[in-house]
Amino acid sequence: MTTAMSRPATDLSPEQAEARERIYAAPLESLDPANPDRFPTGEWQWVFERLRAEDPVHLTDEKDSEFGRYWSLTRWEDIQAADTNHELFSADGVITLARPQTAQQTTSVFDDGTMTEEEKRRRQEAGIRSLLSMDPPDHDIHRGAVAEGVAPASLALLEPLIRERAGAILDSLPIGEEFDWVDKVSIELTAMTLATLFDYPQEKRRQLTYWSDVLTTPAGPGQPAETEEERMKAMRDFYLTMSELVQRRRGEEPRVDFVSLMAHSPHSVNFSEPELFGDCVVLLVGGNDTTRNTITGSVYFLSKNPEENSKLRANPALVPSMVSETIRYQTPLTHMTRRTTRDVEVGGKVIPKGDRVVLWYVSGNRDDAKVENPDSYVIDRKNVRRHLSFGFGIHRCLGNKLAELQLRIIWEEMLARFPEITVVGEPKRSHNHFIKGYESMTVVIPRRN
């Protein structure tokens, strides 16, 4: 039998080869693919490579993971099949593989200090809901309320704005000296776009970035929120700001920003506080880290693959194709989670009703049964738009066209300005099993003689 381990692992450093061996030597049943330590080191690749080959529908037991018991789908076909079957794989109440929420987390966002114990208990039971954690018909109502914000007509209005801002950001970059690409370009451009999507004051755009970072990162030293109290306060601030904005927009003429759309949707008066909060969170986070990390990833992957870089510079018409390949290769959201509505057989195993199932897009995108030479970054590969990074089915990314648009514009503007961008050392990657990305990446734009 050919196992994944018997396939040559090309281009690995001695440390990587050793890490891969360690993963293959570990007892299969103890593998916890969600372990966040594996994402900054790149070890996730070998965990999933092994699972796809040896145990594609994998159960991680309660005792082996800080995230509790869950099933992993690691092959493309299984992920796509589950993602397109919301009747068997429900999104109700689940989005990511999160640590069990504390009572404090689900109540304190909404607690103005007057909540009774009974109210707190009920709020805790109800949890936080959003379009991404709902099944039809609620999902369709919530998605329908905001979809126009990223519809083709809205994107056509956004395009010149994004281009102007991208140009201004690039023109302000230092030449011939080191700087952090993540902060100066990737965050700046996505924050500006987000502020526009929410019609939020541009001068306060970094607040949106901060809230998004806080929402996706557990509290801890060196993290956006150092303590759980700080994190709770930031979440509550975001919630209060959004509900106030929605109230204000209700008294104004309808426009196509997300907040105005929500405020004027005939259904939104019936949205509960946790639903309003949840939708705003998904719109905020959905448009932030994902695009930001793909922008950074594109610069990094092209610097690591000089042949691909030369292809792109020789033929800028490859930008859209490079963008799609980067979205596959980066897979900025590693997974989504579902819950089975009855016993379901997948790949010869029975997943019991009510269990959590993780759709590992990051693994499916590297499945060689579906993608030729999947561990290579090839900007002009065949069927380049065919990847799992935006999901499938009714929850397929609402902002996928906007994400591609931002990536395309920033690269068109970069190619027009800089013949070279040099990455210095290795980027600092995020310690996160959901958002796969970069905290910082030092680059230099060489001075032209």
Query: Residues interacting with ligand HEM, by CB under 6 A?
Result: 83, 131-132, 143, 150, 282-283, 286-287, 290-291, 294, 327, 332-333, 336, 389-393, 395-399, 402-403
Measured from the CB atom, the residue of 107 and 268 that comes closer to ligand HEM is 268
Measured from the CB atom, the residue of 276 and 282 that comes closer to ligand HEM is 282
DSSP state at residue 72: E
Measured from the CB atom, the residue of 52 and 292 that comes closer to ligand HEM is 292
Q: Shortest Cβ distance from residue 288 to ligand HEM (Å)?
A: 8
Which residues partner with 435 through β-bridges?
333
How far, in Å, CA of 224 to CA of 203, rounded? 20
Measured from the CB atom, the residue of 60 and 337 that comes closer to ligand HEM is 337
Q: What angle do CA 307, 309, 313 make, to 5 degrees?
A: 120
Q: Shortest Cβ distance from residue 393 to ligand HEM (Å)?
A: 5
Which residues partner with 57 through β-bridges?
73
Query: Where do runs of H (alpha helix) occur along 30-110?
Result: 38-41, 44-54, 76-83, 103-108
| Rounded alpha-carbon distances, angstroms, from residue 109 to 186, 233, 271 | 29, 8, 16
**Contact (Cβ atoms closer than 8 angstroms) between residue 285 and residue 434:** no
Q: Shortest Cβ distance from residue 218 to ligand HEM (Å)?
A: 20
Q: Shortest Cβ distance from residue 394 to ligand HEM (Å)?
A: 6
- Integer-rounded Cα Rg, in Å, for the chain is 22
Q: Shortest Cβ distance from residue 43 to ligand HEM (Å)?
A: 22
**Contact (Cβ atoms closer than 8 angstroms) between residue 196 and residue 149:** no
Contacts of 404 (CB under 8 A, 6+ apart): 320, 323, 324, 327
Residue spans of beta strands (DSSP E) within 152-205? 179-180
Measured from the CB atom, the residue of 131 and 371 that comes closer to ligand HEM is 131
Measured from the CB atom, the residue of 170 and 327 that comes closer to ligand HEM is 327
Q: Shortest Cβ distance from residue 406 to ligand HEM (Å)?
A: 7
